[in-house]
Amino acid sequence: MSYAPRLSRRRFLQAGGLGLLGLTLTERSWTQAPQEKPLPPRAAPDSIDGPPLVSCRAWAIADGKSGRVLWGAHENEPLVMASTTKIMTAWLVLRLLAEHPKVLDETVVISAAAAKVGGSSARIRAGDRYRAGDLLYGLLLPSGNDAAHAFAEHFGPRYRNGKEATPPVAAFVAGMNRQAGLLKMAQTRYFDPHGLGKNHTSAANLCTLAHTVMQNAEFRRYVQTRRHRCDVTDAKGQTRSVVWNNTNKLLDIEGYDGIKTGTTTAAGFCLVASGRRNNDHLLAVVLGATSNDSRYLDTRNLFRWAWRQRGHKT
Question: For 162-181, what is each residue's pLDDT tens digit?
Answer: 888 999 999 999 999 999 99
Confirm whether 38 is domain-assigned: no
Residue 21: per-residue pLDDT: 46
As a whole number of angstroms, the distance between CA 61 and CA 69 comes to 6
Confirm whether 41 is domain-assigned: no
Confirm whether 181 is domain-assigned: yes
As a whole number of angstroms, the distance between CA 125 and CA 3 comes to 91
* Band of pLDDT at residue 282, cut at 50, 70 and 90: very high
Q: Which domain holds residue 247?
A: 58-309
pLDDT tops 50 at residue 204:
yes
Mind listing the pLDDT tens digit for each residue in 28-50?
545 566 788 899 999 888 887 88
Confirm whether 203 is domain-assigned: yes
What is the rounded average pLDDT for all residues in the chain? 91
Is residue 86 annotated as a catalytic residue, yes or no?
A: yes
Q: What is the pTM of this model?
A: 0.86
* Secondary structure percentages of the chain, helix, strand, coil, to 5: 35, 20, 40
Average pLDDT of the segment spanning 244-261: 97
Confirm whether 294 is domain-assigned: yes
Confirm whether 252 is domain-assigned: yes
CA angle at residue 112 from 133 to 227, to 5 degrees? 35
Residue 46: per-residue pLDDT: 80
Residue 10: per-residue pLDDT: 54
The number of domains in the chain is 1
Catalytic site residue from 8, 37, 55, 86: 86
pLDDT above 90 covers what percent of the chain?
Answer: 82
> The CATH number of the domain where 128 resides is what?
3.40.710.10
Q: Are 290 and 268 in contact (CB under 8 A)?
A: yes
pLDDT tops 70 at residue 298:
yes
Confirm whether 128 is domain-assigned: yes
Catalytic site residue from 2, 8, 66, 83: 83
pLDDT tops 60 at residue 61:
yes
Is residue 143 annotated as a catalytic residue, yes or no?
A: yes
Mind listing the pLDDT tens digit for each residue in 70-100?
999 999 999 999 999 999 999 999 999 999 9
Catalytic site residue from 111, 120, 143, 274: 143
Confirm whether 72 is domain-assigned: yes
The dihedral region occupied by 184, where left means phi > 0, alpha psi between -120 and 50, and beta the remainder, is left
Residue 34: per-residue pLDDT: 75
pLDDT above 70 covers what percent of the chain?
Answer: 89
How do strand 79-80 and strand 129-131 relate by DSSP bridges? unpaired
CA 63 → CA 71, 72, 75, 214, 274, distances in Å? Answer: 10, 12, 15, 12, 10
